Amino acid sequence: MFRPKKLSLYLAPVVLFGLFPILAGAQDNMGMSNKQTMSVTGCLKQGSDAGGYYIMGDDGKMYELMGKGLSAHVHHKVTVMGMPATMSQAQEDKKMATEKSEAGGATIVDMKVSSIKMVSESCQ
């Protein structure tokens, strides 16, 4: 009868330390869920910067897009899905002048595109 109690005293810390990486990983994943998936539909346009693309959304915002497969859909009406992108201050400063001229005073949202779907071959 004394042995199981002693054994449980030794096993409890082992189990706790064994679960620690799982619990720590769950906290990291919870931080990732703060970035919401978003979707925007509009006319895909080529930006002034090389490899730059954007969409003016119905919500009045300009979505600066980053991702693959965008060049094939310039001047098409598309729906893109993705996540808000975060760039370093140096990257933001580099793009600021062209983004402001393209946005025409609209709020600018940087978006990392995960998928693109063509709605129409023309923007009208």
DSSP percent split of the chain into helix, strand, coil, nearest 5: 40, 30, 30
Q: How confident is the model at residue 103 (pLDDT cuts 50, 70, 90)?
A: confident
Radius of gyration of the chain, Cα coordinates, nearest whole angstrom:
24
**What pLDDT is recorded for position 30?**
43
% pLDDT > 90, the chain: 35
Question: Domain-by-domain residue ranges, the chain?
Answer: 1-34, 38-120
pLDDT > 60? residue 81: yes
Q: How confident is the model at residue 11 (pLDDT cuts 50, 70, 90)?
A: low
Q: How far is CA 107 from CA 3, 61, 71, 92, in A?
A: 68, 5, 23, 14
Predicted TM-score (pTM) of this structure: 0.64
pLDDT digits (tens, 9 = 90+) for 16-69: 556 555 555 544 444 444 568 999 999 999 987 778 899 988 888 999 999 888
CATH 2.40.50 fits 38-120, yes or no: yes
Strand order in the sheet with 62-66: 38-43, 77-84, 108-120, 62-66, 53-56, 45-46
**What pLDDT is recorded for position 47?**
85
